[in-house]
Amino acid sequence: MTGHGRRVLVINDTQEILDLFEDILRPMGHDVTLLSYAPDELRQIEEIAPDLIIVDFVIGGREYEGWQLLQKLRMNRSTATIPVIACTAAVGLVRESEGYLHQQGVTVVMKPFNIDQLEMAVASALRSQGDEAQD
């Protein structure tokens, strides 16, 4: 079934949120990697080789940490096509950047969210990855 058994990287600075994502994603059949910080270098993400990245825009109390990571991901050839879900409560940033996020194929799930919303966003993002994931 599409989306099952994929590698999902979750980046969030709150351990309880990371645990929650793991509890939701593992039963969906995904291999989950959790990071409590946004890596400064993309090498770590390249080594994980995720099929999907879920990131909060606010990491470590810095509002644009996840946003900067998204920009780095999109500007690097090896990570540019990885689907990204921004799971965030940064409503203002999302509204200001809605056009850019859509253009970059970033799905936004606003906090608080329910499990069905997250599951649908994950399935959709992995499905849209389509043939690229078949390599």
The DSSP letter of residue 57 is S
pLDDT tens digits, residue range 19-38?
999 999 999 999 999 999 98
Architecture of domain 7-126: 3-Layer(aba) Sandwich (3.40)
Q: What band does 86 get if pLDDT is binned at 50, 70 and 90?
A: very high
Entry pTM: 0.90
Over residues 63-71, the mean pLDDT reads 88
Where in the chain are the domains?
7-126
Q: Which residues contact 86 (CB under 8 A, 6 or more apart)?
A: 55, 56, 57, 66, 70, 94, 101, 106, 107, 108, 109
Give the side-chain half-sphere CA count within 13 A for 48.
23
Whole-number pLDDT of residue 69? 93
Whole-number pLDDT of residue 51? 97
More confident residue, 55 or 58: 55
